[in-house]
Amino acid sequence: MMKHKLKAIDFFSGAGGLTYGLRMAGIQVMAGIDNDKICKTTYEKNNPGSIFLERDITQYSPEELTKDLKLKKRDDALLLAGCAPCQYWSIIQTTKEKSKKTKDLILDFQKYVEYLLPGFVLVENVPGISSKKGSPMASFIKAIEKLGYVFMDHHVVDMSEYGIPQKRRRFTLLASRVAEVSLPKANGKKKTVKDILGEKNGFPRVPAGTKDLSKKIHTTAGLSEKNLKRLKMTPPDGGDRTKWQSKKNYALACFSSDSNKFSDTYGRMWWNRPSPTITTKFYSISNGRFAHPEEDRGISLREGASLQTFPKSYEFVSTNTADIAKMIGNAVPPDFAKILGERIVESLNNGTKSYD
């Protein structure tokens, strides 16, 4: 059977995690689209041949995209991938004010599907977008079904079941109007923090506050004297703040009424478990269980990137720690993107329909 070269456009591409993974699967990613200009250099440096379009898709029209990339409508070998930053629908209890303006980005992505009618559609998002009341996902699914995307599979997956070394639950959807497609089954290849971090994996011991100006960015956040003492009192390999929460001068006032509430905060990762979800604040121990399993520091930028399955050669271009952490935390893990990409390529090449 003749094989067909799949092309893709990565919407809300960020620094290129999805693009990198799709490229590993043999897909030609024509462009990444994102309105965050901080990501442009990182995206293009690591994904040569894929261009970064700095665009706001609420203002950028499908007609303009079609002209800019010389696309054709109803291209059966075209994939549109949309991983919109919809934190408004996150199940994490945080203020939603800042994320209100992005809560319906999936419907802006829908306009491109309606106009271009690609062969394949991929969506990845926070779990809550498929379950919370008022979410636009049900509307999106209904709309593309009417467009002829009769082959569809979607559910919330835990990426740790696919060999990604972190507990990362995401709503994932694959749809096609040209060939049967389904989400890949969990491969059972569990990876843990021990498989990724530590000296044997190329991460030398470093103290808190290390500034690594090399491309490796084994940079760690500084800690106040009190926080360093708190971490020294936190047992290795999964210890948490309950060991010092009741101690005078060390207790956190915000948790004084319930010492077990949010016990992951200031906690250490376990060696023999996947890490918690790598968020945009993973470099700070006050934002979750982001302390190193045994060293008295938070995990470094590169350690976070490695838990996200970025190769050590992936260069994050910025001098700002928060910007790099945001690029890493917002990304689709490249190894998971590769698994999805391979599934789509397989679907295209095994389809019964003829492709022009």
Quick check: 96 pLDDT over 70? Answer: no
- What percent of the chain is modeled with pLDDT above 70? 88
**Amino acid 2: pLDDT:** 47
The pLDDT assigned to 187 comes to: 84
Q: Using CA atoms, how far apart are residues 194 and 177, in angstroms rounded to an integer?
A: 42
What does the mean pLDDT of the chain come to?
A: 90
Is 254 designated active site?
A: no
pLDDT at 125 over 80: yes
Strand partners, 153: 174
Mean pLDDT for 215-242 is 95
Amino acid 103: pLDDT: 59
Phi-psi region of 188 (alpha: psi -120 to 50; beta: other; left: phi over 0): left
Say what the pLDDT of residue 328 is.
98
Q: Which residue has the higher pLDDT, 3 or 258?
A: 3
Catalytically annotated residue among 39, 83, 86, 254 = 86
DSSP letters for 212-250: --STT--------HHHHHHHHHSPTTT--GGGTTTSTTT
The residue among 336, 283, 285 whose CA lies nearest residue 308 is: 336
pLDDT tens across 261-308, in order? 566 889 999 999 999 999 999 999 999 999 999 999 999 999 999 999
Flag whether pLDDT at 100 surpasses 60: no
pLDDT at 258: 53
What is the amino acid identity at position 236? P
List residues bridging with 54 in a β-sheet: 34
| Residue 53 in tokens | 């379009």
Mean pLDDT of 35-63: 97
> Residue 102's pLDDT band (boundaries 50, 70, 90)?
low
Residue 1: is its pLDDT beyond 70? no
d(CA 298, CA 266): 9
Q: Which pLDDT belongs to residue 131?
A: 46
Structure tokens at 193: 């923090």
pLDDT of the residue at 101: 56
Q: Rounded mean pLDDT of 51-75?
A: 97
Least confident of 74-78, 215-219, 349-353: 349-353
pLDDT score of 76 more than 50: yes
The reported pLDDT for the residue numbered 262 is 61
State CA 197 to chain mean position distance: 19
| Residue 261: predicted pLDDT | 56
